[in-house]
Amino acid sequence: MTGWIDHSTWTGFVYTDVFDELTASGGNTSAVGAYPDGVSSYGAYDMAGNCFEWTSSIITATNGAEAGQEDNAVRGGSWYATGRSCTTSYRGEGRDGSGGYPTVGIRVAADRS
C-alpha cells in the first residue's frame, strides 16, 4: 500500500482492514465540543473533522472517486480526511445524494432562544 488513497489501483488507507474496522464501529470520531479552542467567531463548534457535512450545493467533483461527476458538495472533512480537505471552505469532494457513506453526515443546529 502506498499513499492515502488511489481509486484506480484500489490501494491506500480506505482499502485496508483498519479502515474497515474503524468504519464498522462508527469511525474515529470525537465527542462534540472536544476541541473548544476551535470554536468559530459565531460560537459554532466542530465545523471541521468527524464527518463531511452534506450540502445541497451541486458541484463537479474534482477529487475522490466522484471526480468529474456532478454531485452534492461535502465540506468540513471527516475523521479520515487529509488536512487539505478538512476545512469548512473546501469544496472538491462530492457525494451522490442516493448513496450512504461512513464519513458523510448532516449538521443539526438549533438556536438556544
Q: Which residue has the higher pLDDT, 5 or 77?
A: 77
Is 0.85 surpassed by the pTM of this model? no
Residue 76 in contact with residue 47, Cβ under 8 Å?
Answer: yes
d(CA 27, CA 23): 5
Among the ranges given (14-18, 22-26, 55-59, 106-110), the one the predictor scored with the smallest mean pLDDT = 106-110
| Segment 31-48 mean pLDDT | 82
pLDDT tens digits for 50-97? 888 888 889 998 877 788 999 998 888 888 777 777 777 777 778 887
Q: Is the pLDDT of residue 25 over 90?
A: no
Residues 6+ away with beta carbon under 8 Å from 72: 54, 55, 56, 57, 58, 59, 94, 95, 96, 97
DSSP 101: -
d(CA 85, CA 80): 10
Q: Within 13 Å of residue 97, how many CA atoms lie on the same side as its CB?
A: 9
Which residue is it, cell 454531485? 71
What pLDDT, on a 0 to 100 scale, did the predictor assign at position 1? 46
